[in-house]
Amino acid sequence: MRNFKEALKYLLKQNYFFIPIDLIISALIGAGIVTILEPETFETFFNAIWWAIVTMTTVGYGDIVPKSITTRLVSFFVIFAGISFVSLFTATISSMFVARKIREGKGLEKINQFDHLVICGWNSSTEKLIESILDIGKNEKFSKITLLNNLPEDEINNIIYKFKDAEIKFIRGDYTKEIVLKRSNITEAKAVIILPNEISQIADSDEKTLIATLTIKSISSKIPVIVFLENNENRIHLKRANADEIFVKNEYSGFILASSVLMPGVPQTISQLMDTSFGTTIVRKHIPKSYINKTFKELSEYFREEYQAILIGIFKESEQIAFMELLSSDTSQLDAYIEKKLKMAGHSLGEKNKMEVNLNPSDEYIIHEKDIAIIINKS
């Protein structure tokens, strides 16, 4: 209802909205005149309206034909008015769609995607990220991605063509601005990923990521925000901004390099598991109800027999108590102080789910109802 009212309000502001009104008025005037001038031909006003409409739309069934010269002169007015207004209305509607398509191509039009992934920023690894998202999303039939950046139009068109089987939309603008984020329909997004722009300085990039996170959370605190940082020192600031997941550039490079020397084969294994093109990946899988309250060993045997997969762990989302619930309903100085300190410590006042991962538990571990399996599976 709200969208209908907004659309109607928009149409009323546009001049082309009055074209069909002018068309109707012309039909009514023409029908009224011919009814008065030639009542024997146009027995009722409804018959005259019918004749005016089929004449103005150039259908011309010929079931009613004016006979007097005066009435035929009025018919000329009706015909020319119809041709003019119908042609103008058709051209206007066409130009509206063309203009909208051009604006969409330039990333200036609000999109109507729902449950989509918004990727803010662009760097050399973004295309690989999109590939991974689409590969992993095949099982869940997920392919809706919105790109929000300032790339040139030709580059964006190449990316959209490269991933033409996916539903990729583009929004141009600064992703720290609320008005730009809302054009991506961010309140209906599945999640938001913020990447550092390659051309930015490290400090500027992380600062922009922080501002964008704060802006997104101010729009809706429920939107999951995953950020990629250049500098680990800025992690604490993003925690305070309530970012849901934080990854730092080269965070695991030390382990990879050390493993290459001391444990050859481990880095290659990790690389293969993280590259979806190899066909062997780490995925999550819901546990059949029949295996609730059974052991990890029994579940492991089930996945091995059913999917030829290796069960490596269990994870679950546990709901935490909202700090806001512990505060009183008034606005006392003590509550304000507690709230301030919690925010400074990086704690969220709202309810937030915590991800608990249990890798390689004992064979006797009992599977619970909220547990989800983590397996190494061949796609």
What is the model's pTM? 0.66
For residue 359, the Cα-to-chain-centroid distance in whole angstroms is: 33
Rounded Cα distance between 356 and 177, Å, is 34
Rounded Cα distance between 317 and 315, Å, is 7
Q: Which helix (H) or strand (E) holds 297?
A: helix 296-307
Rounded Cα distance between 258 and 249, Å, is 17
Quick: pLDDT tens for 85-100: 777 777 777 766 666 6
Residues 6+ apart with CB under 8 A from 291: 298, 299, 302, 367
Dihedral of the CA atoms 245, 110, 167, 248 (nearest 10)?
A: -20
Smallest CA-to-CA distance from 44 within 55, 76, 52, 75 is with: 52
State the pLDDT at residue 16. Answer: 58
Mean pLDDT value across the chain: 81
Quick: pLDDT tens for 253-291: 888 888 888 898 888 888 888 877 777 788 888 999 999
Rounded Cα distance between 152 and 347, Å, is 39
N-to-C CA span, the chain: 44
320, 353 Cβ separation under 8 angstroms: yes
CB atoms within 10 A of CB 75: 18
Long-range contacts: 101-110, Cβ < 8 Å, 24+? 104/169, 104/170, 105/153, 105/157, 105/170, 106/153, 106/172, 107/153, 107/156, 107/170, 107/171, 107/172, 107/173, 108/172, 109/183, 110/182, 110/183, 110/184, 110/185
Rounded Cα distance between 128 and 116, Å, is 18
Rounded Cα distance between 168 and 147, Å, is 7
Q: Which helix (H) or strand (E) holds 178?
A: helix 178-183
Token readout for 220 is 């809706």
Quick: pLDDT tens for 121-163: 998 889 989 988 888 887 677 889 999 998 888 888 899 889 9
Task: Report the SS3 class of residue 28.
Answer: helix
Residue identified by tokens 């095949």 is: 138
State the pLDDT at residue 336. Answer: 60
Smallest CA-to-CA distance from 147 within 137, 129, 223 is with: 129
Between 223 and 100, name the one with better pLDDT: 223
Domains (ranges, CATH) in the chain?
Answer: 2-105 (1.10.287.70), 108-251 (3.40.50.720), 280-379 (3.30.70)
Residue 338 has pLDDT above 80, yes or no: no
208, 228 Cβ separation under 8 angstroms: no
* Phi and psi angles of residue 225, each rounded to the nearest 5 degrees, phi first: -120, 120
Residue 110: pLDDT band with limits 50, 70, 90: confident
